[in-house]
């Protein structure tokens, strides 16, 4: 990219965060239930664990891709 390692790190970090947010938003949209209502209003622990698992998996995929 550039000869400045710090700038490269910032660019790749921004790309990774944006890719993660887009993928997580897509996963939440495609889910057959309303995650936020289940987690906040109905206090559904299983839905919270599922959302956390999706977030962790997507984060690992993005990190491996950008590494």
pLDDT means over runs of 10, the chain (67 residues)? 83 88 89 87 92 88 77
How far from 10 is each of 1, 4, 17, 31, 53, CA to CA, in Å? 11, 10, 11, 32, 26
Q: What is the pLDDT of residue 44?
A: 93
Q: What is the pLDDT of residue 45?
A: 95
Q: What is the pLDDT of residue 9?
A: 84
Sequence spans of domains, the chain:
33-67
Q: What is the pLDDT of residue 46?
A: 92
Rounded distance between C-alpha atoms, residue 11 and residue 16, angstroms: 9
The whole-model pTM stands at 0.71
């Amino acid at each position: 990219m550039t000869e400045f390692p710090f700038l490269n790190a910032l660019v790749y970090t921004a790309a990774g965060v944006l890719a993660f947010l887009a993928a997580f938003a897509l996963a939440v949209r495609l889910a057959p239930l309303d995650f936020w209502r289940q987690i906040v209003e109905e206090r559904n622990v299983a839905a919270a664990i599922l959302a956390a698992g999706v977030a962790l998996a997507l984060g690992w995929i993005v990190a491996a891709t950008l590494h």
